[in-house]
Amino acid sequence: MTRKIPVKTLHRFSMIYCCLLESLAAGVSRISSRILGSQLGSTADSIRKEINYLGEVGDVGSGYDVAKLAGRISDVCGFEKRRTVAIAGLGKVGSALLENPEFENAGFDIVAGFDSNTNILETLTSKVPLYPASELTDWVKKLNIEIGIIAVPPSAAADCAARFVAGGVSGLVNFSSTTVAVAQKGIIVRNLDMICELRFINSLMTANQKA
Amino acid sequence: MTRKIPVKTLHRFSMIYCCLLESLAAGVSRISSRILGSQLGSTADSIRKEINYLGEVGDVGSGYDVAKLAGRISDVCGFEKRRTVAIAGLGKVGSALLENPEFENAGFDIVAGFDSNTNILETLTSKVPLYPASELTDWVKKLNIEIGIIAVPPSAAADCAARFVAGGVSGLVNFSSTTVAVAQKGIIVRNLDMICELRFINSLMTANQKA
DNA sequence: GCGTGTGAACTGGTTCACAGCG
DNA sequence: CGCTGTGAACCAGTTCACACGC
Protein backbone atom coordinates (compact mmCIF):
# COMPACT_ATOMS: atom_id res chain seq x y z
CA MET A 1 0.00 0.00 0.00
CA THR A 2 2.80 2.37 0.73
CA ARG A 3 3.87 3.51 -2.68
CA LYS A 4 7.28 5.08 -3.10
CA ILE A 5 6.93 8.74 -2.25
CA PRO A 6 8.43 11.12 -4.84
CA VAL A 7 11.15 13.46 -3.61
CA LYS A 8 9.11 16.46 -4.57
CA THR A 9 6.28 15.24 -2.38
CA LEU A 10 8.63 14.76 0.57
CA HIS A 11 9.69 18.36 0.18
CA ARG A 12 6.07 19.44 0.11
CA PHE A 13 5.47 17.44 3.28
CA SER A 14 8.03 19.62 5.05
CA MET A 15 6.19 22.69 3.88
CA ILE A 16 2.79 21.30 4.77
CA TYR A 17 4.13 20.31 8.17
CA CYS A 18 5.34 23.86 8.71
CA CYS A 19 1.87 25.19 7.89
CA LEU A 20 0.24 22.67 10.20
CA LEU A 21 2.42 23.66 13.14
CA GLU A 22 1.45 27.26 12.56
CA SER A 23 -2.22 26.41 12.37
CA LEU A 24 -1.89 24.38 15.52
CA ALA A 25 -0.18 27.27 17.29
CA ALA A 26 -2.97 29.53 16.10
CA GLY A 27 -5.54 27.17 17.58
CA VAL A 28 -6.86 25.84 14.28
CA SER A 29 -7.75 22.18 14.62
CA ARG A 30 -9.18 21.36 11.20
CA ILE A 31 -7.94 22.34 7.77
CA SER A 32 -8.96 21.62 4.18
CA SER A 33 -6.83 20.85 1.17
CA ARG A 34 -7.95 24.09 -0.40
CA ILE A 35 -6.71 26.17 2.50
CA LEU A 36 -3.44 24.31 2.58
CA GLY A 37 -3.07 24.76 -1.15
CA SER A 38 -3.58 28.48 -0.95
CA GLN A 39 -1.11 28.76 1.89
CA LEU A 40 1.52 26.87 -0.05
CA GLY A 41 0.88 28.32 -3.47
CA SER A 42 -0.49 25.08 -4.80
CA THR A 43 -3.84 23.59 -5.77
CA ALA A 44 -6.22 21.62 -3.57
CA ASP A 45 -6.06 18.70 -6.01
CA SER A 46 -2.34 18.55 -5.76
CA ILE A 47 -2.32 18.68 -1.99
CA ARG A 48 -4.86 15.89 -1.76
CA LYS A 49 -2.87 13.68 -4.12
CA GLU A 50 0.24 14.24 -2.05
CA ILE A 51 -1.45 13.61 1.26
CA ASN A 52 -2.86 10.39 -0.15
CA TYR A 53 0.64 8.98 -0.12
CA LEU A 54 0.14 8.90 3.62
CA GLY A 55 -2.92 6.71 3.31
CA GLU A 56 -6.39 7.80 4.30
CA VAL A 57 -6.00 10.41 6.94
CA GLY A 58 -8.67 12.97 6.14
CA ASP A 59 -12.33 12.96 7.05
CA VAL A 60 -14.51 13.16 3.98
CA GLY A 61 -16.54 16.31 4.05
CA SER A 62 -14.70 18.10 6.80
CA GLY A 63 -11.06 18.14 5.85
CA TYR A 64 -8.12 17.06 7.93
CA ASP A 65 -7.51 17.05 11.65
CA VAL A 66 -4.46 19.27 11.91
CA ALA A 67 -2.75 17.38 14.73
CA LYS A 68 -3.46 14.00 13.19
CA LEU A 69 -2.14 15.00 9.78
CA ALA A 70 0.95 16.55 11.31
CA GLY A 71 1.56 13.38 13.29
CA ARG A 72 1.17 11.21 10.22
CA ILE A 73 3.64 13.33 8.23
CA SER A 74 6.06 13.30 11.13
CA ASP A 75 5.88 9.50 11.30
CA VAL A 76 6.42 8.98 7.60
CA CYS A 77 9.18 11.57 7.30
CA GLY A 78 10.90 10.66 10.54
CA PHE A 79 10.62 14.12 12.05
CA GLU A 80 10.73 12.75 15.59
CA LYS A 81 14.28 11.61 14.95
CA ARG A 82 16.71 14.28 16.10
CA ARG A 83 19.64 15.10 13.85
CA THR A 84 23.03 16.57 14.62
CA VAL A 85 24.01 19.73 12.79
CA ALA A 86 27.14 21.85 12.51
CA ILE A 87 27.60 25.34 11.21
CA ALA A 88 30.66 26.36 9.23
CA GLY A 89 31.40 30.06 9.00
CA LEU A 90 30.67 32.14 12.07
CA GLY A 91 30.28 35.54 10.54
CA LYS A 92 27.10 37.48 11.10
CA VAL A 93 24.83 34.95 9.51
CA GLY A 94 26.54 31.88 10.94
CA SER A 95 26.66 33.22 14.47
CA ALA A 96 23.04 34.30 14.24
CA LEU A 97 22.13 30.74 13.35
CA LEU A 98 24.11 29.41 16.31
CA GLU A 99 21.83 31.27 18.67
CA ASN A 100 18.61 30.45 16.90
CA PRO A 101 16.41 28.36 19.19
CA GLU A 102 14.24 27.21 16.30
CA PHE A 103 16.72 24.48 15.43
CA GLU A 104 16.38 22.91 18.83
CA ASN A 105 12.61 23.12 18.67
CA ALA A 106 12.48 21.56 15.23
CA GLY A 107 14.60 18.60 16.29
CA PHE A 108 18.04 19.66 15.20
CA ASP A 109 20.93 19.84 17.65
CA ILE A 110 23.72 22.20 16.76
CA VAL A 111 26.72 20.38 18.14
CA ALA A 112 29.59 22.42 16.68
CA GLY A 113 30.58 25.65 15.01
CA PHE A 114 33.58 26.15 12.74
CA ASP A 115 35.54 29.10 11.45
CA SER A 116 38.95 29.59 9.92
CA ASN A 117 39.45 32.81 11.85
CA THR A 118 40.88 31.98 15.29
CA ASN A 119 40.03 35.48 16.41
CA ILE A 120 36.35 34.81 15.93
CA LEU A 121 36.62 31.51 17.76
CA GLU A 122 38.12 33.25 20.78
CA THR A 123 35.82 36.25 20.81
CA LEU A 124 32.53 34.50 20.20
CA THR A 125 30.81 33.14 23.24
CA SER A 126 28.36 30.38 22.66
CA LYS A 127 26.92 27.33 24.32
CA VAL A 128 27.97 25.45 21.22
CA PRO A 129 31.62 24.34 21.13
CA LEU A 130 33.63 26.08 18.43
CA TYR A 131 36.55 24.65 16.49
CA PRO A 132 38.95 25.80 13.79
CA ALA A 133 37.86 25.01 10.25
CA SER A 134 40.99 22.96 9.72
CA GLU A 135 39.64 20.36 12.13
CA LEU A 136 36.17 20.27 10.56
CA THR A 137 36.40 16.83 8.98
CA ASP A 138 37.72 15.25 12.18
CA TRP A 139 35.00 16.68 14.34
CA VAL A 140 32.29 15.70 11.91
CA LYS A 141 33.48 12.12 12.25
CA LYS A 142 33.98 12.29 15.99
CA LEU A 143 30.63 13.91 16.74
CA ASN A 144 28.71 11.99 14.08
CA ILE A 145 27.47 15.18 12.52
CA GLU A 146 24.74 14.40 10.02
CA ILE A 147 24.01 17.75 8.41
CA GLY A 148 26.35 20.61 7.61
CA ILE A 149 25.32 24.21 7.23
CA ILE A 150 27.58 26.30 5.03
CA ALA A 151 27.66 29.99 5.95
CA VAL A 152 31.16 30.81 4.73
CA PRO A 153 32.02 33.33 1.99
CA PRO A 154 31.26 32.06 -1.52
CA SER A 155 34.92 31.55 -2.35
CA ALA A 156 35.32 29.08 0.51
CA ALA A 157 32.04 27.25 0.00
CA ALA A 158 33.24 24.46 -2.27
CA ASP A 159 36.16 23.65 -0.02
CA CYS A 160 33.94 23.73 3.03
CA ALA A 161 31.45 21.36 1.40
CA ALA A 162 34.26 18.96 0.54
CA ARG A 163 35.38 18.86 4.18
CA PHE A 164 31.88 18.13 5.38
CA VAL A 165 31.52 15.37 2.82
CA ALA A 166 34.91 13.91 3.77
CA GLY A 167 33.62 13.76 7.33
CA GLY A 168 30.61 11.79 6.18
CA VAL A 169 27.60 14.09 6.46
CA SER A 170 24.38 13.02 4.78
CA GLY A 171 23.17 16.46 3.87
CA LEU A 172 24.27 20.03 3.33
CA VAL A 173 22.48 23.34 3.40
CA ASN A 174 24.38 26.00 1.56
CA PHE A 175 23.75 29.60 2.44
CA SER A 176 26.53 31.19 0.45
CA SER A 177 25.90 32.77 -2.92
CA THR A 178 27.38 29.86 -4.78
CA THR A 179 25.84 26.73 -6.11
CA VAL A 180 27.46 23.88 -4.26
CA ALA A 181 27.35 20.52 -5.96
CA VAL A 182 28.53 17.22 -4.61
CA ALA A 183 29.42 14.43 -6.98
CA GLN A 184 28.95 11.74 -4.38
CA LYS A 185 25.65 9.92 -4.65
CA GLY A 186 23.33 9.93 -1.69
CA ILE A 187 24.36 13.25 -0.25
CA ILE A 188 21.62 15.82 -0.32
CA VAL A 189 22.52 19.41 -1.06
CA ARG A 190 20.14 22.32 -0.70
CA ASN A 191 21.25 25.65 -2.02
CA LEU A 192 19.57 28.62 -0.40
CA ASP A 193 21.24 31.18 -2.58
CA MET A 194 19.73 34.58 -2.01
CA ILE A 195 21.39 36.22 -5.01
CA CYS A 196 20.28 33.40 -7.27
CA GLU A 197 16.71 33.78 -6.02
CA LEU A 198 16.79 37.52 -6.55
CA ARG A 199 18.00 37.00 -10.10
CA PHE A 200 15.22 34.49 -10.60
CA ILE A 201 12.64 37.00 -9.43
CA ASN A 202 14.20 39.54 -11.72
CA SER A 203 13.87 37.20 -14.70
CA LEU A 204 10.23 36.50 -13.89
CA MET A 205 9.59 40.22 -13.67
CA THR A 206 11.11 40.83 -17.07
CA ALA A 207 9.24 37.84 -18.49
CA ASN A 208 5.96 39.15 -17.09
CA GLN A 209 6.56 42.61 -18.42
CA LYS A 210 7.27 41.29 -21.89
CA ALA A 211 4.08 39.23 -21.89
CA MET B 1 11.35 31.42 -32.69
CA THR B 2 11.39 32.46 -29.11
CA ARG B 3 9.22 29.86 -27.45
CA LYS B 4 7.78 30.63 -24.08
CA ILE B 5 10.40 29.74 -21.49
CA PRO B 6 9.13 27.57 -18.61
CA VAL B 7 9.47 29.02 -15.14
CA LYS B 8 11.61 26.13 -14.05
CA THR B 9 14.02 26.86 -16.85
CA LEU B 10 14.23 30.51 -15.84
CA HIS B 11 15.21 29.39 -12.39
CA ARG B 12 17.84 27.12 -13.84
CA PHE B 13 19.16 30.04 -15.87
CA SER B 14 19.88 31.89 -12.64
CA MET B 15 21.80 28.90 -11.38
CA ILE B 16 23.66 28.41 -14.64
CA TYR B 17 24.49 32.09 -14.67
CA CYS B 18 25.91 31.79 -11.18
CA CYS B 19 28.15 28.90 -12.33
CA LEU B 20 29.24 30.81 -15.39
CA LEU B 21 30.30 33.83 -13.35
CA GLU B 22 32.36 31.55 -11.16
CA SER B 23 33.96 29.87 -14.13
CA LEU B 24 34.70 33.24 -15.60
CA ALA B 25 36.29 34.40 -12.35
CA ALA B 26 38.35 31.22 -12.33
CA GLY B 27 39.58 31.98 -15.84
CA VAL B 28 37.61 29.23 -17.58
CA SER B 29 36.49 30.42 -20.99
CA ARG B 30 34.77 27.35 -22.41
CA ILE B 31 32.36 24.93 -20.76
CA SER B 32 30.34 21.90 -21.84
CA SER B 33 26.80 20.93 -20.98
CA ARG B 34 28.15 17.91 -19.13
CA ILE B 35 30.31 20.01 -16.82
CA LEU B 36 27.45 22.42 -16.19
CA GLY B 37 25.17 19.53 -15.48
CA SER B 38 27.49 18.03 -12.92
CA GLN B 39 27.96 21.38 -11.24
CA LEU B 40 24.22 21.89 -10.98
CA GLY B 41 23.22 18.36 -10.13
CA SER B 42 21.51 17.86 -13.46
CA THR B 43 22.10 15.99 -16.71
CA ALA B 44 23.86 17.23 -19.81
CA ASP B 45 20.73 16.54 -21.87
CA SER B 46 18.63 18.67 -19.64
CA ILE B 47 21.07 21.54 -19.66
CA ARG B 48 21.28 21.51 -23.45
CA LYS B 49 17.50 21.51 -23.78
CA GLU B 50 17.27 24.47 -21.47
CA ILE B 51 20.03 26.42 -23.17
CA ASN B 52 18.29 25.83 -26.47
CA TYR B 53 15.55 28.17 -25.34
CA LEU B 54 18.16 30.85 -25.83
CA GLY B 55 18.62 29.91 -29.47
CA GLU B 56 21.85 28.55 -30.87
CA VAL B 57 24.60 29.81 -28.69
CA GLY B 58 26.99 26.88 -28.39
CA ASP B 59 29.68 25.75 -30.77
CA VAL B 60 29.12 22.19 -31.90
CA GLY B 61 32.00 20.02 -30.79
CA SER B 62 33.55 22.41 -28.33
CA GLY B 63 30.84 23.48 -25.94
CA TYR B 64 29.87 26.97 -24.94
CA ASP B 65 31.84 30.18 -24.70
CA VAL B 66 31.35 31.06 -21.05
CA ALA B 67 31.17 34.82 -21.53
CA LYS B 68 28.88 34.54 -24.55
CA LEU B 69 26.47 32.19 -22.82
CA ALA B 70 26.41 34.36 -19.71
CA GLY B 71 25.67 37.38 -21.87
CA ARG B 72 22.85 35.61 -23.67
CA ILE B 73 21.25 34.52 -20.40
CA SER B 74 21.65 38.00 -19.00
CA ASP B 75 19.92 39.45 -22.06
CA VAL B 76 17.00 37.06 -21.98
CA CYS B 77 16.52 37.24 -18.21
CA GLY B 78 17.09 40.97 -17.98
CA PHE B 79 19.95 40.70 -15.53
CA GLU B 80 21.38 44.02 -16.65
CA LYS B 81 18.29 45.73 -15.28
CA ARG B 82 18.96 46.86 -11.72
CA ARG B 83 16.23 46.28 -9.16
CA THR B 84 15.43 48.05 -5.93
CA VAL B 85 15.32 45.94 -2.79
CA ALA B 86 14.36 46.54 0.83
CA ILE B 87 15.06 44.47 3.90
CA ALA B 88 12.53 44.10 6.68
CA GLY B 89 13.83 42.93 10.02
CA LEU B 90 17.23 44.18 11.06
CA GLY B 91 18.24 41.53 13.53
CA LYS B 92 21.45 39.63 13.03
CA VAL B 93 20.51 38.19 9.69
CA GLY B 94 18.84 41.30 8.31
CA SER B 95 21.64 43.64 9.30
CA ALA B 96 24.20 41.21 7.89
CA LEU B 97 22.37 41.37 4.58
CA LEU B 98 22.36 45.17 4.67
CA GLU B 99 26.14 45.18 4.59
CA ASN B 100 26.53 42.46 2.03
CA PRO B 101 28.21 43.90 -1.08
CA GLU B 102 27.11 40.97 -3.23
CA PHE B 103 23.69 42.56 -3.76
CA GLU B 104 25.25 45.61 -5.32
CA ASN B 105 27.49 43.50 -7.53
CA ALA B 106 24.60 41.34 -8.67
CA GLY B 107 22.50 44.33 -9.71
CA PHE B 108 20.33 44.83 -6.67
CA ASP B 109 20.24 48.13 -4.82
CA ILE B 110 19.23 48.00 -1.19
CA VAL B 111 17.37 51.25 -0.77
CA ALA B 112 15.80 50.81 2.65
CA GLY B 113 15.81 48.82 5.86
CA PHE B 114 12.87 48.39 8.21
CA ASP B 115 12.40 47.28 11.79
CA SER B 116 9.67 47.62 14.35
CA ASN B 117 12.20 48.20 17.12
CA THR B 118 13.10 51.90 17.20
CA ASN B 119 16.06 51.08 19.38
CA ILE B 120 17.62 49.09 16.57
CA LEU B 121 16.90 51.86 14.09
CA GLU B 122 18.79 54.35 16.25
CA THR B 123 21.70 52.11 17.17
CA LEU B 124 22.39 50.61 13.79
CA THR B 125 24.64 52.62 11.53
CA SER B 126 24.30 51.93 7.85
CA LYS B 127 24.64 53.61 4.51
CA VAL B 128 21.13 52.42 3.82
CA PRO B 129 18.34 54.62 5.24
CA LEU B 130 16.36 52.87 7.97
CA TYR B 131 12.68 53.35 8.76
CA PRO B 132 10.15 52.03 11.26
CA ALA B 133 8.19 49.01 10.10
CA SER B 134 4.95 50.94 10.47
CA GLU B 135 5.96 53.10 7.50
CA LEU B 136 6.97 50.17 5.33
CA THR B 137 4.12 50.32 2.86
CA ASP B 138 4.52 54.05 2.33
CA TRP B 139 8.22 53.84 1.66
CA VAL B 140 7.80 50.93 -0.69
CA LYS B 141 5.48 53.11 -2.76
CA LYS B 142 7.62 56.21 -2.47
CA LEU B 143 10.90 54.51 -3.31
CA ASN B 144 9.40 52.18 -5.89
CA ILE B 145 10.78 49.15 -4.14
CA GLU B 146 10.44 46.12 -6.37
CA ILE B 147 11.57 43.26 -4.15
CA GLY B 148 11.15 42.78 -0.42
CA ILE B 149 13.35 40.62 1.75
CA ILE B 150 11.70 39.28 4.87
CA ALA B 151 14.10 38.68 7.75
CA VAL B 152 11.70 39.19 10.62
CA PRO B 153 10.75 36.57 13.23
CA PRO B 154 8.35 33.91 11.91
CA SER B 155 5.40 35.31 13.83
CA ALA B 156 5.71 38.65 12.04
CA ALA B 157 6.39 37.27 8.58
CA ALA B 158 2.84 37.13 7.24
CA ASP B 159 2.10 40.67 8.35
CA CYS B 160 5.35 41.89 6.91
CA ALA B 161 4.62 40.22 3.59
CA ALA B 162 1.19 41.85 3.50
CA ARG B 163 2.76 45.29 3.98
CA PHE B 164 5.20 44.74 1.18
CA VAL B 165 2.42 43.58 -1.10
CA ALA B 166 0.27 46.56 -0.16
CA GLY B 167 3.18 48.75 -1.21
CA GLY B 168 3.26 47.06 -4.58
CA VAL B 169 6.36 44.91 -4.68
CA SER B 170 6.67 42.36 -7.47
CA GLY B 171 8.60 39.76 -5.51
CA LEU B 172 9.40 38.60 -2.03
CA VAL B 173 12.21 36.53 -0.59
CA ASN B 174 11.28 35.09 2.76
CA PHE B 175 14.05 34.12 5.14
CA SER B 176 11.94 33.40 8.18
CA SER B 177 11.01 29.87 9.15
CA THR B 178 7.52 30.25 7.87
CA THR B 179 6.01 29.58 4.52
CA VAL B 180 4.75 32.89 3.25
CA ALA B 181 2.06 32.77 0.63
CA VAL B 182 0.50 35.63 -1.26
CA ALA B 183 -2.88 35.26 -2.77
CA GLN B 184 -2.37 38.04 -5.26
CA LYS B 185 -1.53 36.82 -8.73
CA GLY B 186 1.72 37.94 -10.29
CA ILE B 187 3.67 38.34 -7.11
CA ILE B 188 6.57 35.96 -6.83
CA VAL B 189 7.39 34.53 -3.42
CA ARG B 190 10.50 32.53 -2.68
CA ASN B 191 10.72 30.84 0.67
CA LEU B 192 14.25 30.16 1.86
CA ASP B 193 13.20 28.38 4.97
CA MET B 194 16.16 26.76 6.66
CA ILE B 195 14.13 24.69 9.09
CA CYS B 196 11.94 23.43 6.29
CA GLU B 197 15.02 22.43 4.31
CA LEU B 198 16.53 20.67 7.29
CA ARG B 199 13.34 18.71 7.77
CA PHE B 200 13.37 17.84 4.10
CA ILE B 201 16.93 16.51 4.39
CA ASN B 202 15.82 14.59 7.43
CA SER B 203 12.97 12.97 5.51
CA LEU B 204 15.26 12.02 2.65
CA MET B 205 17.68 10.46 5.14
CA THR B 206 14.92 8.39 6.69
CA ALA B 207 13.62 7.43 3.25
CA ASN B 208 17.10 6.38 2.14
CA GLN B 209 17.64 4.32 5.25
CA LYS B 210 14.35 2.51 4.76
CA ALA B 211 15.18 1.63 1.16
C1' DG C 1 -23.21 21.39 -0.47
C1' DC C 2 -18.64 20.80 0.92
C1' DG C 3 -14.50 18.13 0.87
C1' DT C 4 -11.92 13.77 0.54
C1' DG C 5 -10.26 9.88 -2.20
C1' DT C 6 -9.14 8.18 -6.61
C1' DG C 7 -9.20 6.63 -11.36
C1' DA C 8 -8.74 8.73 -16.18
C1' DA C 9 -6.99 12.18 -19.30
C1' DC C 10 -3.56 15.40 -20.06
C1' DT C 11 0.49 18.17 -20.08
C1' DG C 12 5.13 19.13 -19.72
C1' DG C 13 9.57 17.94 -18.71
C1' DT C 14 13.18 14.34 -19.01
C1' DT C 15 15.54 10.83 -21.39
C1' DC C 16 16.84 8.66 -25.63
C1' DA C 17 18.77 8.69 -30.07
C1' DC C 18 21.12 10.57 -33.67
C1' DA C 19 22.38 13.98 -37.35
C1' DG C 20 25.89 17.30 -38.15
C1' DC C 21 30.00 19.95 -37.52
C1' DG C 22 34.59 21.24 -35.64
C1' DC D 1 35.85 11.61 -31.72
C1' DG D 2 33.45 15.01 -28.72
C1' DC D 3 29.75 17.92 -28.17
C1' DT D 4 25.75 20.61 -29.67
C1' DG D 5 21.08 20.82 -31.41
C1' DT D 6 16.76 18.58 -31.90
C1' DG D 7 13.05 15.43 -33.00
C1' DA D 8 10.82 11.17 -30.94
C1' DA D 9 9.69 8.25 -27.09
C1' DC D 10 8.86 8.13 -22.47
C1' DC D 11 7.36 9.05 -17.93
C1' DA D 12 5.91 11.68 -13.84
C1' DG D 13 3.18 14.90 -11.96
C1' DT D 14 -0.86 17.81 -12.51
C1' DT D 15 -5.46 18.58 -13.65
C1' DC D 16 -10.04 16.87 -14.46
C1' DA D 17 -14.02 14.40 -13.12
C1' DC D 18 -16.80 12.11 -10.09
C1' DA D 19 -18.33 8.75 -6.42
C1' DC D 20 -19.12 8.75 -1.69
C1' DG D 21 -19.70 10.36 3.14
C1' DC D 22 -20.59 14.16 6.47
pTM summary value: 0.94
Report how far residue B101's alpha carbon sits from residue A138's, in angstroms, rounded to the nearest whole number.
33
Q: A168: helix, coil or strand? A: coil
Nucleotides of D under 7 A from a protein CB: 1-7, 12-17, 20-22
Sort out which chain A residues have CB atoms less than 8 A from B106's CB and list them.
Answer: 177, 195, 198-199
Contact list, A75 vs chain B (CB under 8 Å): none
Instruction: Classify residue B205 as exposed, middle or buried by CB count within 10 Å of its CB (0-12, 13-18, 19+).
Output: buried
Smallest CA–CA distance, residue B61 to chain A, in Å, is 25
Q: Which of A169, A172, A199 is the mutation pick for testing B, counting most B CBs within 10 A?
A: A199
The residue ranges of chain B whose pLDDT is under 70 are 1-3, 210-211
What is the reported pLDDT for B184? 78
* CB within 8 Å: B201 and A18: no
- Spatial distance between the Cα atoms of B176 and B8, rounded to a whole number of angstroms: 23
pLDDT values of chain A reduced to their tens digit, one per residue, 211 residues: 456 899 999 999 999 999 999 999 999 999 999 999 999 989 999 999 999 999 989 998 899 999 999 999 999 999 999 999 999 999 999 999 999 999 999 999 999 999 999 999 999 999 999 999 999 999 999 999 999 999 999 999 999 999 999 999 999 999 998 888 887 778 999 999 999 999 999 999 998 776 5
Distance from CA of A42 to the nearest CA of B (A): 10
CB A66 within 8 A of CB A46: no
Question: Dihedral through CA B50, CA B52, CA B54, CA B60, nearest 10?
Answer: 130
Asked if B194 and A192 come within 8 Å (Cβ–Cβ), the reply is: yes
